[in-house]
Structure 1
Amino acid sequence: MAQDPENLARVVLFDPIRQNLRTTRYALYELGFREIDTFSALGEVRERVEAADVDLLVMEPEDDPKVFSLVRDIRHSRIGRNPFSVIFLTCWTRDPQNIRQALESGADDLIARPFSTRFLDERVAAAIERRKRFVVTSDYIGPDRRSGPRPGAADPRYLNAPNTLKAAAKGDWEALEATYQHIKTVQEDVAKERVQRLSVRIAADLEISNPSSPSAEISVIKQARELERLAERVGPETASIAKALTKSLTDGEAGAPGKRWRVARELAHGVCVSSGHGDSSASEEIDRLVGKLREKQDSVAKDGGLEKQKGLHSAA
């Protein structure tokens, strides 16, 4: 990427080791970036993202796995104004767990240290000109890294993520402002898509899970609260039904767990329909997912494989 004195991109760097911060900052400066904030405390990064727009984040998660949660919070619009900021994570070791968490968090790229300025230039150029399209599922927003469709999985929602880094790095104020306006529209579409997918998943979970299981109850309530948060962006009717869904699950005076779950399942269906998913298509999607989850449950029970349990909800 050619150096540009008009580079408007706002960059945030995080690394507990200050020498790494200096090295990365120098490399980015050489590439033309000028507005670079460096932090060695993750809480300060979160505050910075909340306070002002960020076009590029470069973070080291090896000594602080909370970085992965921060990436997910950004992607899911829980903090900040730009859930589509370009995010690079760095690593010193090829730890499989760190790699998996980095990819699942929604980061754009995982860069092995030490890296040269030239290599970083290539990764930045790729993020600007050849950024992967994003995929939206019930619990993931980020680059699509799949080699092909997953058997039995619902068709994901694809989108070309608004890329403020592209406009900012080229010093194009007009394009940058237009991109931020586009982000608002895409966020609304993403929220609607996630409401539909998450409500289908909750309805399926309520169908196949045991109401008397504390772990199942905790899981469903957690999903319901996330659904309630997302539904606020879709509309008052959807938000009202989602709120009633959460209440039906948490109100201990509303009857036995089995009864409360039956009510909650109907409300989850109602959330899906009110958000724009037709009544028949919502029912078909719920039934399809219930069938897939039952098949996986039977497979896990038959084989006794713990690893298979990890993918129980991949169909959503």
Structure 2
Amino acid sequence: MSSLTLNKVEILVVDPNSNARRSVQDALQNYGYPEFDFAGSFREVRDKFRIREPDMIISETELPDGTLSEFVRRLRNDEISGNPFLPIIGISSDSSKEVMAELEASGVDAILSRPLSTTHLVKCITEVMNKKRQFLVTANYIGPVRPSAMPTDGIGAEPIDVPHTLKSKSKGIGYRSMFEDIANATKLINRLKMSRLSEKIVMLTNGIAEILEKHGFADEAHGLFEDILKASRDAGQRVAGTDYAHVTELCDSLIKLLNKICIEDQGAIKKDIKLLKPMASSIHLAFSESEEAAAFSRQVSNSVSNRNS
């Protein structure tokens, strides 16, 4: 920590309770964190993002206008304006397994339980700052590497280096100089997410095709059906405005075909089932990584690694 300059780091404390916000500030100022900003809702957080982004967020998990889990998930998925790699620590009064699992699945960096210990909070910030900044990108998750996020199907199991803006800022590196790294890493993450979704679509489609061929639209197929629809919609929305915008039509066609199969009789289903696998494969093929894309991935990784070291 001696090489890091804490007085250059700005922390945004998010809590509807002003006393709770102040207690976090008072505790951390004794450890050399002088720069703070405050918000009582996620709307305030988004408003502050438009003016200046913090270097870290420490937030209560339940706010009047939403949950931290939903906010972090949207930020990591680049659905709201902001740095997708921003370090975020959640503070929760509910330490149940369900709540902890939901927070981890959203992509938070760490979770602390109330009553809050200053020692634990400082230790947590230190660990986040010193830890190598790597993300996992799967069909269901974008966020820091953690065991619970490792995909069981192996799709997206390789960690990706991303900008460690907190560590860079603590060394006196300004946000503007990191902007290009953030933009390129965001583009790479988005592309990897699309690729992961396409792989999942192929896997799920192969599974549902086998079930439909043997049993028709049985109960066993309903779960897969919903999963494919969700993945296809996500992929279609994610490619909007990118070089892969044409894939939206493929995703829409797959969704229409699945809905058609759902309402047809057994005789009509058979001819449509034959279209499922090639249609899913065409979506995956559209996202296949070219040599140019692979080179770009290496370029982003090298740039980020040099900046984070």
What is the TM-score of this pair, normalised by structure 1? 0.72
Q: Indicate how the Cα distance of structure 1 residues 277 and 160 shifts in structure 2: closer, same or farther if over 3 A, else same.
A: closer
Taking the TM superposition and a 5 Å limit, the aligned residue runs for 1:145-156 are 145-146=146-147, 153-154=154-155, 156=157
Work out the CA distance in 2 between the residues paired with 1:141 and 1:84.
10
Indicate the larger mover: 153-162 or 259-268. Answer: 259-268
Taking the TM superposition and a 5 Å limit, the aligned residue runs for 1:45-64 are 45-49=45-49, 52-62=52-62
1:270 maps to 282
Work out the CA distance in 2 between the residues paired with 1:151 and 1:219.
16
What is the TM-score of this pair, normalised by structure 2? 0.73
Shift in Å, 1:204: 2.4
SS at 1:142 equivalent: strand
Deviation by residue 1:52-109 (Cα, 9 ceiling, x = unmatched)? 4332111111567621011111111111231100010112342111111111111111
2:169 maps to 168
1:15 maps to 15
SS at 2:147 equivalent: coil
Contact 1:4 1:32 in 2 (8 A): no
Give the alignment partner of residue 241 of structure 1, picking from 247, 252, 276: 247
SS at 1:135 equivalent: strand
2:229 maps to 221
Shift in Å, 1:224: 1.7
CA RMSD, 1 decimal: 3.4
Opposite residue 230 of structure 1, the aligned amino acid is R
Return 5+ residue gaps in structure 2 as ranges: 263-268, 291-309
1:76 maps to 77
Opposite residue 130 of structure 2, the aligned amino acid is E
1:180 maps to 179
Shift in Å, 1:150: 6.7
Contact 1:231 1:242 in 2 (8 A): yes
Shift in Å, 1:18: 2.2
Runs of 4+ in 1 over 6 A off after TM superposition: 147-151
Work out the CA distance in 2 between the residues paired with 1:43 and 1:148.
28
Work out the CA distance in 1 between the residues paired with 2:169 and 2:31.
13
1:41 maps to 41
| Identity across the alignment (%) | 21
Shift in Å, 1:195: 1.1
Indicate the larger mover: 163-172 or 59-68. Answer: 59-68
Return 5+ residue gaps in structure 1 as ranges: 279-316
Work out the CA distance in 2 between the residues paired with 1:119 and 1:83.
25
Contact 2:15 2:21 in 1 (8 A): yes
Work out the CA distance in 2 between the residues paired with 1:150 and 1:44.
34
2:203 maps to 204
Work out the CA distance in 2 between the residues paired with 1:73 and 1:43.
13
Shift in Å, 1:217: 4.7
Contact 1:50 1:79 in 2 (8 A): no
2:25 maps to 25
Indicate the larger mover: 127-136 or 49-58. Answer: 49-58
Contact 2:42 2:63 in 1 (8 A): no
1:299 maps to none
Deviation by residue 1:203-244 (Cα, 9 ceiling, x = unmatched)? 222333369577655543332221123224651xx3202333
Work out the CA distance in 1 between the residues paired with 2:227 and 2:149.
29
Work out the CA distance in 2 between the residues paired with 1:148 and 1:218.
21
SS at 1:157 equivalent: coil
Deviation by residue 1:237-258 (Cα, 9 ceiling, x = unmatched)? x320233322442489x95555
Q: Indicate how the Cα distance of structure 1 residues 119 and 223 shifts in structure 2: closer, same or farther if over 3 A, else same.
A: same
Number of aligned positions between the proteins? 272
SS at 2:146 equivalent: coil
Work out the CA distance in 2 between the residues paired with 1:246 and 1:200.
17
